[in-house]
Amino acid sequence: MLIKKCLTALLTVTFVVGSQLAQAANLPDFSELAAKSGPAVVNINTEKMATNGGSEELFGEMFRNIPPGFERFFDQFGGKRDGKRPQSKQKSLGSGFLVSSDGYIVTNNHVVADADVIRVTLDQDNGKSESFTANLIGADEETDLALLKVDIKKDLPFLNFGNSDELKVGEWLLAIGNPFGLDHTVTAGILSAKNRNIHAGPFDNFLQTDASINPGNSGGPLLNMQGQVVGINTAIIASGQGIGFAIPSNMAAKIIDQIKSGKKVSRGWIGVTIQDVEENTAKALGMKDAKGALIGSVMENEPAAKGGMKDGDIILAVDGKNIDDASALLRAIAEKVPGSQAIIKVWRDGKTLDLTVTLGERQSASQASAGNKGEAKQNEGMLGISVRPLNETERRDMKIDKNEGLLIVDVAANKPAAEADLRPGDVILKANLKPVNTSAALSKIVNDEGVKRGAIMLQISRRGDVYFRTVPLGK
């Protein structure tokens, strides 16, 4: 009996060990993929003259999306001295990858934004690395993508985009980049989830992976097992481990093609305010499932209104593609070419209707701040900003009431507005809770109340988020 028990235990151990060895034997080997793809991945470092900001320079992208109010905690690491931040040369590191043999490189916009000098380090055939100055061809802030170009008189290794829509959760992926400045670091993991919205921008549709991604990986490729780029590594959660986010290749490829062809990145627009459909809303309207995008309002004389859409309609599909929520609608319309027609299926009065809408063009916040240069702008000397009134197109795109809104065009260094983290592209809605839409109105509040009290509280809109900034002023 004892011998029988021992034999049974031995066979069990043998079976478990054998099973584990079989599983290990089935694990993928990434060595060939890494060796083949690595030479097309580049190190990017930039330089710019900037006001010392402490937290942003030290922590980089980890805290680039800190909610308002929290970023001040990190100032202790970079340090304000005597209430002033001196100008200095600021450096940053990131990653990128070649997408053509003639030197075009894809990376994140936040890696190269506002850089005075961009240098790209490539591995040479002799095993050594060499740096080259790169030119910024173009960028799209809303999707955080940028295209660079290096001029080298030889063919360079490059990577091709794959189809991110075909990815399946649980699929093996490989990330290559330069985390913490350590070039050509390779990490592997799986696709953890698709269609993630982390509120980094209006078109969030990230791939989530547990492949280790750290500061410096931004702009590097996320590869499938065929060596195709299925994502561009972009963001991490500072408080989490094993969670990284990448821009899907199908989204990125379209944007990069527009930038490379010299075209302005353009997106469709229909002119509605939208929100998700909740279960109670679906029940009230007689719908089986809580899916689609509920139209809160239809703007007058905009494409949706001209196409017959009404407040309370629920958009279920665009050109036959199902719309699950408001974010999906925003992406579906933005992907289409302005001037083209879209067949939009809506739920109204207990039945579906197909409406044909000719799309307008969406104007981004960055286009708004950079455009309309001929319009008058006025300086607010005490605050250290230049502002101008919003035009009707900007009000429409930013959904801002006609009685409020001043666009910040410039922010002077070492001035109160810069210290309070006001930025070009921000829209001042109210000053001390009073609506402002002219420079004179803002100046009056600053001079009458701000100087007297030693500070002024501004309500601002930044990329769709609204919050308050208090700007200290000298008495």
Binding residues, as ranges, are 47, 110, 144, 216-218, 234-238
Angle made by CA atoms 267, 271, 274, in degrees to the nearest 5: 100
| Residue 60, amino acid | G
Active site residue 144: yes
CA separation (Å) from 388 to 40, 379, 401?
Answer: 44, 9, 15
- C-alpha 125/C-alpha 150 separation (Å) is 17
- C-alpha 337/C-alpha 359 separation (Å) is 8
- Give Cα 37 to chain centroid, integer Å: 25
Angle made by CA atoms 337, 343, 349, in degrees to the nearest 5: 140
What the block records as the tokens of 188 is 């592997």
Q: Annotated catalytic residue: which of 37, 110, 313, 386?
A: 110
Q: Annotated catalytic residue: which of 218, 249, 369, 443?
A: 218
Across the chain, which distance is largest between two alpha carbons, in Å? Answer: 99
Return binding residues for substrate: 47, 110, 144, 216-218, 234-238
**Residue 198: how many CB atoms within 10 A of its CB?**
15
Q: Annotated catalytic residue: which of 140, 144, 204, 397?
A: 144
- C-alpha 338/C-alpha 383 separation (Å) is 39
CA separation (Å) from 439 to 4, 108, 414?
Answer: 93, 35, 21
**Which ranges of 79-203 would DSSP assign to H, the alpha helix?**
109-112
Active site residue 439: no
DSSP string, 243-260: -EEEEEHHHHHHHHHHHH
- C-alpha 134/C-alpha 270 separation (Å) is 38
Catalytic residues: 110, 144, 218
